[in-house]
Amino acid sequence: MKRENDNLFSDESAQQLDKNLSRLLKLTGKSDKPSRTFTKSLINDALNELKQLDVEKAETKNVIILPNWLEKAVGWAAMVAVACGAGFVVIISFFLKVNLLLEVIVVLTIVFNWISSLGGRV
Amino acid sequence: MTEKLEEKSWIDFAKGDADVWREFIDLEIPRLYGLFMDRWPNRSLAEELLQKTVFDAVRGRSSYDPSKGSPEKWIHGIARNNIRLQIRRRASRPSINGDISQYLEAIDTKPLPDEVLEREEMTKVVRSALSRLESKEKAVLEAKYIDELSANDIARQMNTTDKAVYSLLYRAKLSLRRELERIASLSKKEEK
């Protein structure tokens, strides 16, 4: 396979050539132990990874995640509280003889506030 | 006597003590490297497997139990597992054809398979190609790829500038590629 010129055509081919030459040339070096540069860099990288894992572990410990059942219980409690509030408004307005339209507006406002406070979960 | 991590350090090792880990990795690197080189005489592959084994150990630190044995035994188990994975990976790859010239011709387009690198004749081919380069070109390639020195270190060693080292390295790579291709085409002709 004859090339048109003697340059490296693209970054990709230059990189591939670099990788292959590196592997080929290593065949001719001493092979009883890895190079000092490689050893040093491997130790540093491994220790950094070790430190990073410890940091991630500590961060995970600090995050409070509510259990699923607790989240559901809070949702139901909120729903019961809203229903009681709506019932309370209806009863009070009946005794105070407030007109029906005002009564409906108050109940709807409570329900919408509740839905928006739950972030549309219900 | 082979050096080992003292038994009293095993618990600190399990806890991830950085000093104990530094000492441990430093002791284990030559042993693991030897283990991989015994299996496949391929320095790049041995380094790759060594790196994988050390990182597997760091990431799987929590699986080490001091009551079950030494950290050395544990990391050698990880290394053997990586050897098994490599054997399986090789078995699933297509087999390599007899002629190495086709691989040398495609040196800047495809990665050279490990099986090709591990052939005895390949070391001879590379040595022969290197011997035909100018002494400066040969020296810069050896410094960069065998001794793994930075351009700055090479420049200091050769008493020149970084820029001159990059330029020399570029020329040396092209010369080596040309020589490898020449040897490849010669071996092809001989076969015919």
Query: Which tokens hold the place of B25?
Result: 């990795």
pTM (predicted TM-score):
0.69
CA distance B53 to A31: 19
Confidence of residue B104 (pLDDT cuts 50, 70, 90): confident
Q: Which of A62-66, B42-46, B116-120 is predicted most confidently?
A: B42-46
Chains A, B: CB contacts within 8 A come to 127
CA distance B31 to B38: 11
Question: How far is the CA of B141 from the CAs of A105, B112, B149, in angstroms?
Answer: 83, 18, 10
What are the pLDDT digits (tens) for A88-117? 777 777 777 667 777 777 778 877 777 776
Amino acid sitting at position B175: S
Is the pLDDT at B192 greater than 50? The verdict is: yes
- Give the residue among A108, A42, A21 at the shortest CA–CA distance from B104: A21
User: A interface mutation test: which of B17, B43, B115, B167 has the most A CBs within 10 A?
Assistant: B43
Task: Please answer whether residues A19 and B111 qualify as being in contact, where contact means their C-beta atoms are separated by less than 8 angstroms.
Answer: yes
B180 interaction partners in chain A (CB closer than 8 Å): 24
Q: Please state the ipTM of this predicted complex.
A: 0.81
Question: Picking from A56-65, B55-64, B123-132, B182-191, which range would have the lowest pLDDT averaged per residue?
Answer: A56-65
Closest Cβ opposite residue A27 in set B50, B105, B123: B123
Residue A48's closest chain B neighbor by CA?
Answer: B18
* pLDDT attached to residue A118: 67
CB contact under 8 Å between A39 and B26, yes or no, is yes
